[in-house]
Amino acid sequence: DLVVGTGGYASYPVVNAAAERGIPTAVHESNAVPGLTTKALSKVVDRVMVGFEESRAHYDHPERVVVTGTPVRGDFFQYTRKEARAKLGLTDERPLVLSVWGSLGAEVMNRRMVDFLEREAKEGAPFRHIHGAGRDYAWMQEELLRRGVKLEGTGIEVREYIYDMPLVMAAADLVICRAGASTLGELTAMGKPAVLVPSPYVAANHQFKNAKVLVDRGAAQLVEEKDCSGEKLYETALALLGDTQKRREMSRAMRELATPRAAEDIYKALMQLL
């Protein structure tokens, strides 16, 4: 009765065949700029659901486009910053930085994070920090040990994985991360200021285009990987943590981009087609 695609080449033949048969069709695109599959399908489907208002201009039939945003899990709305900090056992007033990278190109960024963590520790850990190392956890621990960097008791924590991301993100004052659509959905939903380092290893450089939407609205700062060093990331984080007003403005801009009712709006758009 209804066929919905969510991007990716595998959805093209199915959604296209459904459209040819006169079956109601829709496609959802989380990224700011459509990929090849979504761009092609947008010419034949009944409805295109997008993540950002800025995305509408990239489609040949803007009248078919509806801005729904990207759904965010309900547990990202569970804690206030104060509740999250208490649950994590953060007893002092130092701000908390959360840093995490996706699997693509993570080793490149984790090598830069070792420099970041080394300087942070040597300067007496001016802020708390939780870093998700992923599959690079073992060698990061070894490299920090080789450099004589001791994190115990500093408030700096390197985890293999962050299993309680909604809790940690709720407690964070600044997030340093990639610019995938789902991550940006979580940041906007929670109003978290961010330093974005888009992955250059993804199709059509779409993470850079995602990041630009937030940067142009004043919600985030952009550091391209080619220009990125551990030193630069550290200096950027330190400057933002020292500017409460700037972070407050970024948080406000993030929330203005949020689509907390995305799942409901997607449901309604699909029900209208039926």
pLDDT tens-digit series, residues 2-48: 999 998 899 999 999 999 999 999 999 999 999 999 999 999 999 99
- Whole-number average pLDDT of the chain: 95
C-alpha 239/C-alpha 237 separation (Å) is: 6
Residue 25 has, within 13 A of its CA and on its CB side, a CA count of 23
Q: For residue range 214-254, what is the model confidence (pLDDT) as tens digits?
A: 999 999 999 999 999 999 999 999 999 999 999 999 999 99
C-alpha 192/C-alpha 31 separation (Å) is: 19
Q: What pLDDT sits at residue 105?
A: 66
C-alpha 209/C-alpha 273 separation (Å) is: 30
φ, ψ for residue 98, nearest 5 deg: -110, 130
Q: What pLDDT sits at residue 147?
A: 97
C-alpha 18/C-alpha 4 separation (Å) is: 10
Angle between helix 106-122 and 230-241 (nearest 10): 60
Q: Is the pLDDT of residue 162 over 70?
A: yes
pTM as predicted: 0.94
Which residues are paired to 195 by β-bridges?
Answer: 176, 221
What tokens does 122 get?
Answer: 């040597």
DSSP-derived letter for residue 242 is T
- Contact between 95 and 120 under an 8 Å Cβ cutoff? The reply is no
C-alpha 192/C-alpha 175 separation (Å) is: 7
C-alpha 229/C-alpha 235 separation (Å) is: 10
- Contact between 95 and 173 under an 8 Å Cβ cutoff? The reply is yes
